[in-house]
Chains A and B, each alone.
Chain A
């Protein structure tokens, strides 16, 4: 336990000094502020130009439209920078110790490989939570200052970003123990963001009835439950509902059904299993590694 705590503590300290994380954090923070400032500039410009030359447009509706666009972009930015940070942590937390030879001195100490893996994963997860958490706090401040609404959805969205990026980070951590860290990141990206993304997307098309084929649906139902899939917060649904409400259009059942719903308990339980599975893989990789 003491060994795991020491490894976790110094992993966190080392990660906090890595420039690449600082760069991603600063870029994310600046991006979020720019989105907020951009919203206000765009609104002022639109108001002064008579709503882009369409004088009949309601200024309040325009403001609301820009606010929702801001929320949409800022949540996407949180996801993108969360993913970049997860890749950066996954690529460095264990790989650099193994490649530099630091692991030789560490493994020669009376610390088990299990304690080392637990400490590394713990330190990496804490770093990820801290950085995404700081970006979420900044997002909340920007939303407070520049408007946006849907503040209640932010906590759930930030939690979903942390949960999803944690899985990616664990995959990269496990792979980077076996192979070069850049190759590990590419493999993890293809596996998680491409293959799993395509399976989840096609599965969604079957769920919403866009594609109808019972045999293919059964295959994708199985595939969906053998790959990790992203947790979804209530934010996309809240955003879609707000946009539908703003359009004042007659909402038919098809449109309402297409609005994404938040992940349920079964998805959360599957996510927990996936996290434990990949954390186990990290341990196995560290345990087998000869330095």
Chain B
């Protein structure tokens, strides 16, 4: 059974808006790392939010472990690290983890083991400040820590390394590799194409809510080229480009 099955998914936020997601279909199998790529506003986050049960699709279906993601029990084996994560501001990292462990229904033994270990992995084990005093990078690390707390069979990472330093990025890459090896499916949204190329087996390139190209890394990236070249070429061919500099900049150059 597919971990995630997305079929002709469509979503728009207001009736007069264009479709944010327009007829997207794909499946994700256990142990597979799937990369969703696309420029800003291409619908990547909307897709993962519909998979996580946070947004309702207007058309099409999403199946998470064979059931509707709106059903809380279907989310039991899913971990989701959102883009730009935030948490209750007056709690500490350990309290956030304990809160989420309760929501996951972890027993006392699991909590005592997993919470310190995940906090240590995230480098937040000695952190005693409230979340409101955390930097963006610290929140991102906590976001990843809470996503793996329930030992998920599906890990959704939405721009997981955007605010991380190079060491943090390396740790996330190692985490994804390790989880893939143990049969966990990973859905990765990222702008960092080199990173996606390193960890993903399959990718889908999106623009304006539609899938432009999808397949295994070998199918999408021909021999001798890299993902970034393919991505730029595909996006440029399918979206109008605004590469002209503002006139006040070019005027200054002339002087």
Q: Is the CB of A97 within 8 A of B88?
A: yes
Known: A105-B100, A110-B76, A291-B54. A17 touches B130 (CB 8 A): yes
Q: Is the CB of A104 within 8 A of B82?
A: yes
Chain B: minimal CB distance from A93 (Å):
10
B72 within 8 A of A: yes
A sample of 27 cross-chain residue pairs with beta-carbon separation below 8 angstroms, ordered by A number, consists of A2-B103, A2-B105, A3-B72, A10-B95, A13-B91, A13-B95, A14-B90, A96-B89, A100-B89, A101-B86, A102-B86, A102-B88, A105-B86, A105-B87, A105-B143, A105-B146, A106-B103, A108-B80, A109-B100, A109-B104, A109-B150, A110-B73, A110-B74, A110-B75, A111-B72, A291-B54, A291-B55
Complex Cα distance, B82 from A52, in Å, reads: 69
A107 within 8 A of B: yes
Q: Is the CB of B103 within 8 A of A6?
A: yes
B53 within 8 A of A: yes
Q: Is the CB of B54 within 8 A of A2?
A: no
Residues of A within 8 A of B213 (CB): none
Q: Which of A98-131 contact B (CB under 8 A)?
A: 100-102, 104-112, 115
Partner of B102, one of A5, A96, A290, A291: A5
Chain A: minimal CB distance from B72 (Å):
4
User: Which residue of chain B has the shortest Cβ distance to A291 in the bound complex?
Assistant: B54
Q: Which chain B residues have a beta carbon within 8 Å of chain A's beta carbons?
A: 49, 52-56, 72-76, 78, 80, 82, 84-91, 95, 99-100, 102-105, 130, 143, 146, 150
Residues of A within 8 A of B52 (CB): 107-108
Q: Which chain A residues have a beta carbon within 8 Å of chain B's beta carbons?
A: 2-3, 5-7, 9-10, 13-14, 17-18, 96-97, 100-102, 104-112, 115, 290-291
User: Which residue of chain B has the shortest Cβ distance to A116 in the bound complex?
Assistant: B103
Q: Is the CB of B72 within 8 A of A108?
A: no
Q: Is the CB of A111 within 8 A of B103?
A: yes
Chain B: minimal CB distance from A283 (Å):
15
Q: Is the CB of A17 within 8 A of B90?
A: yes
Q: Is the CB of B91 within 8 A of A14?
A: yes
Residues of B within 8 A of A2 (CB): 102-103, 105
Chain A: minimal CB distance from B172 (Å):
17
Complex Cα distance, B91 from A13, in Å, reads: 8
Q: Is the CB of B99 within 8 A of A10?
A: yes
Residues of A within 8 A of B143 (CB): 105
Chain B: minimal CB distance from A25 (Å):
16
Complex Cα distance, B90 from A17, in Å, reads: 6
Greatest chain A CB density within 10 A among B56, B76, B89, B91 is at: B89
Residues of A within 8 A of B99 (CB): 6, 9-10
Chain A: minimal CB distance from B130 (Å):
7
Residues of A within 8 A of B104 (CB): 109-110
Residues of B within 8 A of A109 (CB): 75, 100, 103-104, 150
